[in-house]
Amino acid sequence: MRLLRSLVLGLAFPATLASQTIPGPEYAARRDSLAARIDSGVVVAFGGRAPVGPDRFLQLPAFRYLTGFLEPDAAFVMVVRPGGSRATLFTSERDPRRALYDGFPPDSAAVARQTGIAARRIGALPAHLDSLAGTGLPFYTLRDFANADAAQTDSLTRGASFMHRFADRHPGLTIRDAHPTLDSLRTRKSPAEQAMLRRAIDLTVEALREVMRMLRPGMWEYEVEAMFQSAFRRGGGDGPAFVSIIGSGPNSTQYHYNANDRRIGKGEVVVMDVGAGYGGYAADVTRTLPANGRFSAEQRAIYRIVREAQAAAEKVARPGAPFEAWREAAREAVARGVARLGLTESVDATFDPPWAEQCQTNPVACTQAFLYMAHGLGHGIGLEVHDRPHPWYGAGTFQAGDVFTIEPGIYVSRKLLEILPDTPKNRAMIAKVRPAVERYHDIGVRIEDDYLITDRGIDWLSRAPREMAEIEAEMARPRDAASR
Ligand code: GLY
Ligand code: MN
Ligand code: MN
């Protein structure tokens, strides 16, 4: 198996290219697809900058998708005309002394050989773009954020500043956002991308199994985090694709808790939301474990509902299935379940939430059940951990080639009642639900899995133990089974 793997990797592209199993022609095909959609214009994409701190360099997803080029401080320009397109990579030189620390960057011949794109020095970029501004072609920019979740706050990045100055120099020039077009290409994952994602997911599943066998009350959340980091690197992955969420007890109820600095107590649940990166592609899987190996009756009750919600969404997700129906299936299961436990007054009871203005566009935000799961049901995964598609909002349908998560959760804390506006409706609700909230206080459960939509249906990719009995059985296995 190992021999087979090294043979496969050995046939792939040089190590300085993005992902060893994304073949070079696929990058060219991506550029051609973008060019075909734009028809005519100038695409400008900025790569990531050399880290200014101690971090390892990570290439930006949009730039990586189009070039596979993994060196910092580069830019990509593609001139698209109806008759054909011409791409150029602008790459940075490195001071020879600095190169002793950071390595010698490839020269333009090596870049062209590796990427199939002509290379020039980055210093030539401004004059090159100035000359293209005179052609009358519109410009399409790909901005330099590492995660589209940060798109709205991207105002001072290098690419944004560069393009502002460029636009000032050329008033009247049309400058458009190329992200929606590129995003539509990135939505469906090619077979090579699916293989990268499967590898990232397999590493994550293996690490989850290992941690299930090792977890004990009294451990610190950071010890668990370190086990994942170690497993991801040992398996040949990039490391964690995002900061691991290891939330025990009260921390289990905070969706994106990641300080990971608390000692895990007996009888608590531990939410572990983790994902390995592999060749830039991100897995994203969550398991919730009972610290001492056995779920309590209260933990079981919550876990069962979350799992039912996930199963309900799994049943809906098929090629052509609408996102709304998928969200609704899980929402209904959660609403039924929390009502059964007395956490809400009834299945469709409403309240006056602290986010009342959101109920105009999303009436579900005003249902009491929403208080216990106020996050989206899932998202695509790919070069970003929140990649296309984004079925957690809006209309749309699943398509073959979508790789995405389903991640319902229920999070109970008495804090939820403390943040409610003091209104007659809320007072009545609190009087009814407080005993249940006290009973399930500090139990947060999220179950997150990764799936592929195929022509026939849906493939569950992240097959880590998931049913309560399976998790308990894995946790009961001897520890040294973990170090096979
Ligand atoms: N790991 C972040 C998320 O599940 O979306
Ligand atoms: Mn996650
Ligand atoms: Mn997720």
Q: How far apart are CA 426 and CA 390, in angstroms?
A: 32
Residue 204 CB neighbour total at 10 angstroms: 31
pLDDT of residue 10: 36
Q: Does residue 451 share a domain with residue 338?
A: yes
Q: How far apart are CA 184 and CA 373, in angstroms?
A: 29
- Residue 75 CB partners (closer than 8 Å, separation 6+): 44, 45, 46, 47, 89, 90, 122, 125
Distances (CA, A) of 188 to 370, 401, 481: 30, 5, 38
Q: State pLDDT tens for residues 71-104.
A: 999 999 999 999 899 999 999 999 999 999 989 9
Residue 331 CB neighbour total at 10 angstroms: 20
Tens of each residue's pLDDT in the chain, 484 residues: 443 444 333 333 334 334 457 999 999 999 999 999 999 999 999 999 988 888 889 999 999 999 999 999 999 999 999 989 999 999 999 999 999 998 999 999 999 999 999 999 999 999 999 999 999 999 999 988 878 777 777 667 888 889 999 999 999 999 999 999 999 999 999 999 999 999 999 999 999 999 999 999 999 999 999 999 999 999 999 999 999 999 999 999 999 999 999 999 999 999 999 999 999 999 999 999 999 999 999 999 999 999 999 999 999 999 999 999 999 999 999 999 999 999 999 999 999 999 999 999 999 999 999 999 999 999 999 999 999 999 998 999 999 999 999 999 999 999 999 999 999 999 999 999 999 999 999 999 999 999 999 999 999 999 999 999 999 999 999 776 544 4
Q: Is 190 exposed, middle or buried (0-12, 13-18, 19+ CB in 10 A)?
A: middle
Q: Does the beta carbon of 407 lie inside 6 Å of ligand 1?
A: yes
Is residue 33 assigned to a domain?
no
Among 131, 156, 186, which residue terminates a domain? 186
Tokens coding 111:
């870049």
Q: How far apart are CA 371 and CA 354, in angstroms?
A: 10
Domain limits for position 102: 39-186
Pick the atom of ligand 1 nearest to 274's CA.
Answer: 1
Is residue 30 assigned to a domain?
no
Q: Does the beta carbon of 242 lie inside 6 Å of ligand 1?
A: yes
Pick the atom of ligand 1 nearest to 407's CA.
Answer: 4
Tokens coding 368:
């009491």
Pick the atom of ligand 1 nearest to 275's CA.
Answer: 1
Is residue 478 assigned to a domain?
yes
**381 CA distance to ligand 3 middle (Å):** 8
Q: How far apart are CA 161 and CA 413, in angstroms?
A: 44
**433 CA distance to ligand 3 middle (Å):** 29
Pick the atom of ligand 1 nearest to 448's CA.
Answer: 4
Best residue for ligand 1 mutational test, from 254, 273, 375 (most atoms within 8 Å of Cβ): 273
- Terminal alpha carbon distance of the chain: 16
Pick the atom of ligand 1 nearest to 376's CA.
Answer: 5
Q: Which helix (H) or strand (E) is 141 found in, with range? A: strand 139-142
Q: How far apart are CA 332 and CA 413, in angstroms?
A: 21
Read off the DSSP letter of residue 291.
Answer: T
Q: Does the beta carbon of 451 lie inside 6 Å of ligand 1?
A: no
- Residue 95 CB partners (closer than 8 Å, separation 6+): none
Q: Does residue 248 share a domain with residue 156?
A: no
Peptide bond into 389 cis (omega under 30): yes
Q: Does residue 213 share a domain with residue 166?
A: no
Best residue for ligand 1 mutational test, from 258, 286, 381 (most atoms within 8 Å of Cβ): 286
Best residue for ligand 1 mutational test, from 385, 403, 447 (most atoms within 8 Å of Cβ): 385
Q: Does residue 251 share a domain with residue 161?
A: no
Is residue 89 assigned to a domain?
yes
**Using alpha carbons only, what angle is made at residue 71 by residues 67 and 76, rounded to the nearest 5 degrees?**
40
**240 CA distance to ligand 3 middle (Å):** 13
Is residue 368 assigned to a domain?
yes
b vs e for 210-224, b when ≥16 Cβ sit within 10 Å of the residue's Cβ? bbbbebebebebbbb
b vs e for 421-450, b when ≥16 Cβ sit within 10 Å of the residue's Cβ? eeeeebeebbeebeebbeebbbbbbbbbbb
Best residue for ligand 1 mutational test, from 242, 243, 310, 411 (most atoms within 8 Å of Cβ): 242
Q: Does residue 266 share a domain with residue 181?
A: no
Is residue 253 assigned to a domain?
yes
Pick the atom of ligand 1 nearest to 446's CA.
Answer: 4
Bridge-based pairing of strands 449-453 and 458-460 is antiparallel
Residues paired with residue 177 on neighbouring β-strands, in sequence order: 141
Q: How far apart are CA 142 and CA 236, in angstroms?
A: 30
Whether the CB-CB separation of 58 and 48 falls below 8 Å is answered with: yes
Q: Does residue 209 share a domain with residue 95?
A: no
Is residue 460 assigned to a domain?
yes
**457 CA distance to ligand 3 middle (Å):** 21
**368 CA distance to ligand 1 middle (Å):** 23
Pick the atom of ligand 1 nearest to 379's CA.
Answer: 5
**208 CA distance to ligand 2 middle (Å):** 13
Best residue for ligand 1 mutational test, from 245, 392, 446 (most atoms within 8 Å of Cβ): 245
Look up tokens 């009350």; give the residue.
217
b vs e for 25-43, b when ≥16 Cβ sit within 10 Å of the residue's Cβ? ebbbebbbebbeebeebbb
Q: Which helix (H) or strand (E) is 246 found in, with range? A: strand 245-248
Q: Does residue 472 share a domain with residue 421?
A: yes
Q: Does residue 223 share a domain with residue 333?
A: yes
Q: How far apart are CA 124 and CA 120, in angstroms?
A: 7
Q: Does residue 171 share a domain with residue 242?
A: no
CATH value at residue 108: 3.40.350.10
Q: Does residue 202 share a domain with residue 58?
A: no
Distances (CA, A) of 473 to 294, 340, 476: 9, 28, 5
Distance of CA 360 to the CA centre of its chain: 28
Look up tokens 């930006």; give the residue.
60
CATH value at residue 284: 3.90.230.10
Q: Does residue 82 share a domain with residue 220?
A: no
Is residue 325 assigned to a domain?
yes
**358 CA distance to ligand 2 middle (Å):** 24
Among 140, 169, 186, which residue terminates a domain? 186
Count of domains forming the chain = 2
Q: Does residue 440 share a domain with residue 353?
A: yes
**59 CA distance to ligand 3 middle (Å):** 21
Among 186, 210, 227, which residue terminates a domain? 186
Output the residue whose Cα is nearest ligand 1's atom 3. Answer: 284
**134 CA distance to ligand 1 middle (Å):** 44
pLDDT of residue 21: 79
